[in-house]
Amino acid sequence: MSAGEAGRGVVQPREMPPSGPGNLSAEPLDARALARAVEDPTCGAVLVFEGVARATGQRDPARAVVALDYEAWDGPAARALADIETETAERFGARVRIVHRTGRVSIGEPAVVVAVAAPHRDAAYAASRHAIDTLKARVPIWKKECYADGSSWMDNRP
């Protein structure tokens, strides 16, 4: 930054902390903490997507779901999520964090959170959509719907 820029108060982006194994969590997800992780004074848009466990079946919406169980191939899943963060950030000029739950997720709780900050809203929306769609297509995470009378594994694709 030149002396002239310093005098005008040019705002520099802050460093993003590295992602990694923290992309998977057996604990409830904190969407607000992820939003804070991506916030930056150079970004005019912060968007948080929460995919929450719903009470209706994926294949049969009339069937009541009581909970979801998620399993992940931990190492490859964490690496894939970190790669998606990096790819999305580079493609859309955004700051991105993704965390996915593992284990039992109660109805109404987030199973996945995607937080994006970008200079403008169009990039934030596009980055968020890209991140969740790419996650569904590439990350080795499996979902089981649990019903009062049994359970069923779901196809985890968009």
pLDDT for 48: 98
Residues of the chain where predicted confidence (pLDDT) is lower than 50: 1-7
Q: How far apart are CA 39 and CA 47, in angstroms?
A: 10
pLDDT for 130: 98
Q: How does pLDDT run across 110-127, given as a tens digit for each residue?
A: 999 999 999 999 999 999
pLDDT for 16: 57
Q: How far apart are CA 107 and CA 67, in angstroms?
A: 6
Spell out the alpha helix ranges (H) of the chain: 3-7, 31-38, 74-92, 121-138
Q: Are 30 and 101 in contact (CB under 8 A)?
A: no
pLDDT for 154: 87
CA-atom Rg of the chain in angstroms:
18
pTM: 0.87
End-to-end CA distance of the chain: 44
